[in-house]
Chains A and B, each alone.
Chain A
Amino acid sequence: MIGHAEKAAPFAANESRAHWHDQALWFVRLKRDRQAESIPEWEALREAAAAIKAHTLSRIADYLEEFERNAQANGIQVHWARDAAEHNAIVHRILADHGITRLVKSKSMLTEECHLNPYLEAHGIEVTDTDLGERIVQLRHEPPSHIVLPAIHLKKEDIGELFHKELGTTKDVSDPKFLTEAARGHLRQKFMAAQAGLTGVNFAIAETGGFVVCTNEGNADMGTSLPPVHIACMGFEKIVPRTKDLAVFLRLLARSATGQPVTTYTTHFHGPIRGGELHVVIVDNGRSAILGNETFRRSLSCIRCGACMNTCPVFRRSGGYSYGYTVPGPIGSLLAPLRDPRQFSSLPFASSLCGSCSDVCPVKIDLHHELYAFRQELVRNKTVPLSKRLAMAVMSYVLARTWAYSLAGRVTRWTMPRMPRALVYGPWNAWGRQRELPPMPQQSFRDLIKNDSIRNAVNAEEPR
């Protein structure tokens, strides 16, 4: 199985672009910080969000039934799908029942997860992603590389070229304003011609049987207020108990995601458009198994803001595609191996465990501790390569025994400077691939302490 590091290699090879990616995401992280600091009760708000999610998960079946009852009373048709195949079949059946061949979509990571687009296209339906970033990657036949910023891996020149080829814009023009205007014109035609609109769901409200969709572009609103049919797809964990809980989550979501105080449009749906139909598809697709996993169930609290990605030193330097899963970054490194531990066994290791993800998570998922716990589980279950398991076994033997540690140090200090370079920097030395090992010290730290030399050195450095 190709691991994260191997998949990150082509991205990291283009050093200037990788650096740009790193800086662009860090810029978003800083915007997030400014917004978080503008709210004195920010930490209490995160606590509240975590508590609401924990409670909701503990009574999730009740809340989903309450939602279903109230939604039906609002004239919403509620569907249930155990897996991606059922989800795709339900969406297709709704469209087929109306003879619909043109669908506009706003952003939905769930439909990415279920691979809905290729399924519908195979059934003769034209699917248009309408979020600008998503349209860009759709025209490139790529998945999104980030859940909030789908085209963050691309430069404006790439998009200028793409639009020249696909939308007939002027060659070599890559001004973002110009390109956005071109996409607006192109997608307006799609909106006007669409027979149905599909959206994700940011929050579904049990108490009222409605749901909320957040966008900045207004694409979800265009897609659901022109055609008569609206289909909204949600993982069951999107449910919140009460209307007032929305306040807690909406205060956190956009601030954490893009550093905005709120998204431009926060739209509340409680029934179909006049003369139309509204369908909600509630999807499990492996989530109920995660709910039963005591260690990792908190990952279901995720509200998909992407803050953990923007802050992650590994994500910023390796790009979304290195994860090979719909949701990348720290949260994806939990969700992916929870789905398939064998295929995604390298992802819990794609972290420095610095804890920055846990610090910014608006619902306080303990991401880095969970990633660490996942590593242990993978090693226990022998899901990681033998080389890694052997290295771990040797390391834990040595680190647990003073004599072994001391001996290993002495041997290394003596042999390393005497070994030929080719031997030290062989293919087994992954660490030394891009950097030089530090020179071996003459003495160990233990020796330094014993000889008082370190104490003297510290004293000498103190002023006066």
Chain B
Amino acid sequence: MSSKAVEVGSRNAILASLCRNAPPASPLLEAPPAAIVYDDPEKQFAETFTSVGGKFVRVASIVEIDAELEKLESYTQARKIASLVLGVGRATPGTARSNQTLVDLAALKDPHELEELDFAIIAGEFGVAENGAVWIAGSALGPLRAIFVITQHLALVVPATQIVHNMHQAYDRIRFERPGFGVFISGPSKTADIEQALVIGAHGARSCALFLVG
């Protein structure tokens, strides 16, 4: 018997067994419980994002971000920088320091070419006040979705009008258009696997700055 036929047999056997063993029907919950809302969701978001190890920066307009980036050592020391946000991060040709390169993402074919990326700037669609998470749609990641995790340091740019209170509101907004990739990012990558000691910078970004704009 071919492996495909075995799998079809397994599929049908599993489904038949699940139908046989299923408990009596219980109703599907229509609405989740009324969820927390904050008097000042932006303040709550900023506090939570900071508490998970992120750096929160408030700017009035997108043109202020480059000056704020200059204050970050992770940025000034970066050799390879990629920006997916128009007008942010040495967007003007010739502004990069001599030892810095602005990576042309469109020219890359293979995610492994991002190995030496030091700093990435990505647009977040909205932030969630209750947990400091930022929703990044796959379409905001450019041609190689690895960028958000392989970069040594990450900066997110989120409009200040786009803060929701909680995860229920978040999922009310999310639609998975094909290819449908999307990720919530809440701060830099971290681990506490050695003696429960929190260490920032596990496999993903070693730092995560967030610029809330507007």
Interface residues of A (CB under 8 A from B): 24, 27-28, 39-41, 44-45, 47-48, 51-52, 54-55, 57-61, 64-65, 74-75, 79-82, 86, 89-90, 93, 130-133, 136, 149-152, 154-156, 159, 176-177, 179-181, 184, 187-188, 191-192, 208, 210, 216-219, 221-222, 225-226, 236, 241, 243-244, 246-248, 250-251, 254, 258, 260-271, 273-274, 282, 284, 288-289, 291-292, 294, 297
Q: Given A130-B203, A218-B205, is A268 in contact with B180 using a C-beta cutoff of 8 Å? A: yes
Q: Do B10 and A270 touch (CB < 8 A)?
A: no
Which of chain B's residues have a CB closer than 8 A to the CB of A222? 146, 149-150, 203-204
Q: Do A292 and B20 touch (CB < 8 A)?
A: yes
Q: Do B133 and A266 touch (CB < 8 A)?
A: yes
Q: Does B182 contact A (CB under 8 A)?
A: yes
A-B contact count (CB 8 A): 265
Contacts of B118-145 to chain A: CB distance below 8 A: 128, 130-133, 143-145
Which of chain A's residues have a CB closer than 8 A to the CB of B149? 218, 221-222, 225, 265
Most buried by B among A41, A266, A271, A294: A266
Which of chain B's residues have a CB closer than 8 A to the CB of A216? 189-192, 202
Most buried by A among B35, B131, B144: B131
Q: Given A236-B14, A243-B176, A270-B176, is A264 in contact with B34 using a C-beta cutoff of 8 Å? A: no
Which of chain A's residues have a CB closer than 8 A to the CB of B170? 247
- Complex CA gap A151/B203 in Å reads 17
Q: How far is the CB of A297 from chain B (nearest CB, A)?
A: 6
Interface residues of B (CB under 8 A from A): 3, 6-7, 10-11, 13-15, 17-29, 32-36, 48, 51-52, 111-112, 115, 128, 130-133, 143-146, 148-150, 166-168, 170-172, 174, 176, 178-197, 199, 201-205
- Nearest chain-A residue to B137 (Cβ)? A268
Q: Do A55 and B32 touch (CB < 8 A)?
A: no
Q: Do B180 and A284 touch (CB < 8 A)?
A: no
Q: A271-B180, A297-B23 are in contact. List 5 more A-B contacts (CB 8 A).
A: A81-B10, A132-B202, A218-B204, A266-B184, A294-B23
Q: Do B201 and A180 touch (CB < 8 A)?
A: yes
Q: Do A262 and B133 touch (CB < 8 A)?
A: yes
Q: Do A45 and B132 touch (CB < 8 A)?
A: no
Which of chain B's residues have a CB closer than 8 A to the CB of A263? 186
Which of chain B's residues have a CB closer than 8 A to the CB of A45? 32-33
Most buried by A among B34, B48, B143, B167: B167
Contact of B196 among A28, A93, A192, A226 (CB under 8 A): A28
Q: Do B194 and A132 touch (CB < 8 A)?
A: yes
Q: Do A55 and B22 touch (CB < 8 A)?
A: no
